[in-house]
């Protein structure tokens, strides 16, 4: 059951990163994309079955463990940058970005020295846990995770009070919950390592195994939802507005064609096929243009139009008024 949940979380992260890729290629939401990609890479080898397959491809010396620790630090650092830039009035300064990058690089470099310089990397975690160099190596990750988790959670909780959109508040709450899961994971891991080093017969990790697994599940799931929820809702709203624009464009076009045949000098648009209107890029500007041309034609050459056409014009006007990309507010048309 837990394995199935892990697979669902991993698949969701990769899907979220894939859906965010087009925006990143266009120069938008790049930080979100890199966070989701790093998060997906971090979580992928968590199931033991996947870990063993990946590690065998990398030489079977637990190199996958090193990659996990490195990408986990990169992930929380990207999340911190993402949240801090979103909640800061002026965004993050270059100095802050450079400092974060330097700290992350230094931690990963230290981990590389400890990992590839120790013989414990050939053992399982259970066998390596009592060794001091392994504990030092893992502690760099756990401390970094705890620090960034607290930093991000505090920023989210502060920003919730300033937000007006409910969906944004929910997203921030999910991120804060995910940070709590990361903090619990880091504290339990650090405590278990310390007690295991002091007493090799310690059963602490066995005693808190359920809480440990819960943290491993809640943290990625909550962070993934929190990072992608607002974007997903905004994307669905955009798709809904676009579909409505296409519908109105199709309904308005017969009236537009008839009027432009009488006043072609008013038209800057050209007649398109039904397929082009259905599948063309962003139909809202074209709807706005044709709406304005219909309105101008009726103002210059007043004439009787059907009740259905009046309803279409009114619906188009209301839709354009509510669309954030329209810069001017069209005047209502009341044809007689």
Question: 174-220: per-residue pLDDT in tens?
Answer: 999 999 999 999 999 889 888 887 887 778 888 998 998 899 888 88
> 3-state DSSP call for residue 254?
helix
Query: What pLDDT, on a 0 to 100 scale, did the predictor assign at position 18?
Result: 84
Q: Are 223 and 46 in contact (CB under 8 A)?
A: no
- What b/e readout covers 151-181, taking b as 16+ CB neighbours within 10 angstroms? bbbebbeebbeeeeeeebbbbbbbbbbbbbb
Query: What pLDDT, on a 0 to 100 scale, did the predictor assign at position 200?
Result: 76
Rg (CA), the chain: 28
Q: Are 38 and 12 in contact (CB under 8 A)?
A: no
Query: What pLDDT, on a 0 to 100 scale, did the predictor assign at position 333?
Result: 41
| Domain over 2-238 is classified CATH 1.20.1070 | yes
Q: Which of 145, 155, 10 is nearest to 73 (CA)?
A: 145
The CA dihedral of 130, 131, 137, 143, to the nearest 10 degrees, is 40
- What b/e readout covers 14-29, taking b as 16+ CB neighbours within 10 angstroms? bebbeebeeebeeeeb
- What b/e readout covers 86-101, taking b as 16+ CB neighbours within 10 angstroms? bbeeeebeeeeeeebe
Q: How far apart are CA 35 and CA 18, in angstroms?
A: 12
Query: What pLDDT, on a 0 to 100 scale, did the predictor assign at position 336?
Result: 36
Q: Are 127 and 119 in contact (CB under 8 A)?
A: no
In which region does residue 91 sit, left (phi positive, over 0), alpha (psi from -120 to 50) or beta (all else)? Answer: left
Q: Are 203 and 255 in contact (CB under 8 A)?
A: no
Query: What pLDDT, on a 0 to 100 scale, did the predictor assign at position 170?
Result: 92
Q: What is the pLDDT of residues 291-309, one digit of tens each?
A: 888 888 888 888 888 889 8
Number of residues that make up the chain: 336
CA distances from 109 to 37, 116, 184 (A): 21, 11, 25
3-state secondary structure 116-135: HCCHHHHCCHHHHCCCHHHH
- Which residue ranges make up each domain of the chain? 2-238, 239-322
Name the stretches of the chain with pLDDT < 50. 327-336
Query: What pLDDT, on a 0 to 100 scale, did the predictor assign at position 271?
Result: 58
Reading the block at residue 204, the tokens are: 């602490």
Query: What pLDDT, on a 0 to 100 scale, did the predictor assign at position 88?
Result: 73
Query: What pLDDT, on a 0 to 100 scale, did the predictor assign at position 328?
Result: 46
């Amino acid at each position: 059951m837990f394995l199935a949940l892990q697979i669902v979380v991993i698949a969701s992260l990769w899907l979220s990163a894939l859906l965010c890729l087009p925006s990143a290629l266009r120069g938008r939401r790049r930080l979100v994309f890199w966070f989701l990609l790093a998060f997906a890479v971090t979580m992928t080898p968590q199931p033991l079955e996947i870990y063993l397959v990946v590690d065998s491809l990398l030489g079977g010396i637990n190199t996958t463990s090193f990659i996990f620790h490195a990408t986990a630090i990169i992930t929380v650092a990207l999340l911190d940058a993402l949240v801090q830039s979103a909640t800061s009035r002026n965004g993050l300064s270059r100095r802050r970005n450079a400092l974060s990058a330097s700290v992350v690089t230094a931690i990963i470099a230290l981990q590389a020295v400890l990992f590839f310089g120790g013989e414990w990397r050939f053992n399982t975690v259970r066998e390596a846990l009592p060794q001091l160099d392994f504990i030092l190596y893992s502690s760099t990750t756990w401390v970094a995770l705890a620090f960034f988790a607290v930093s991000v959670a505090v920023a989210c909780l502060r920003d919730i009070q300033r937000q007006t959109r409910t969906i944004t508040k929910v997203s921030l709450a999910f991120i804060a919950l995910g940070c709590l899961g990361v903090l619990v994971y880091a504290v339990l891991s650090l405590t278990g390592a310390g007690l295991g080093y002091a007493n090799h017969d310690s059963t602490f990790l066995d005693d808190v195994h359920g809480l440990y697994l819960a943290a491993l599940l809640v943290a990625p799931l909550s962070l993934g939802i929190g990072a992608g929820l607002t974007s997903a809702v905004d994307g669905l709203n955009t798709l809904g507005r676009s579909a409505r624009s296409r519908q109105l464009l199709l309904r308005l076009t017969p009236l537009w064609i008839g009027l432009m045949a009488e006043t072609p000098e008013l038209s800057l648009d050209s007649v398109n096929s039904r397929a082009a209107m259905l599948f063309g890029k962003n139909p809202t500007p074209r709807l706005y243009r044709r709406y304005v041309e219909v309105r101008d034609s009726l103002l210059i050459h007043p004439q009787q139009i059907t009740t259905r056409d009046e309803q279409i014009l009114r619906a188009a006007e209301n839709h354009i008024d509510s669309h954030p990309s329209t810069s001017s507010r069209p005047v209502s048309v009341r044809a007689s």
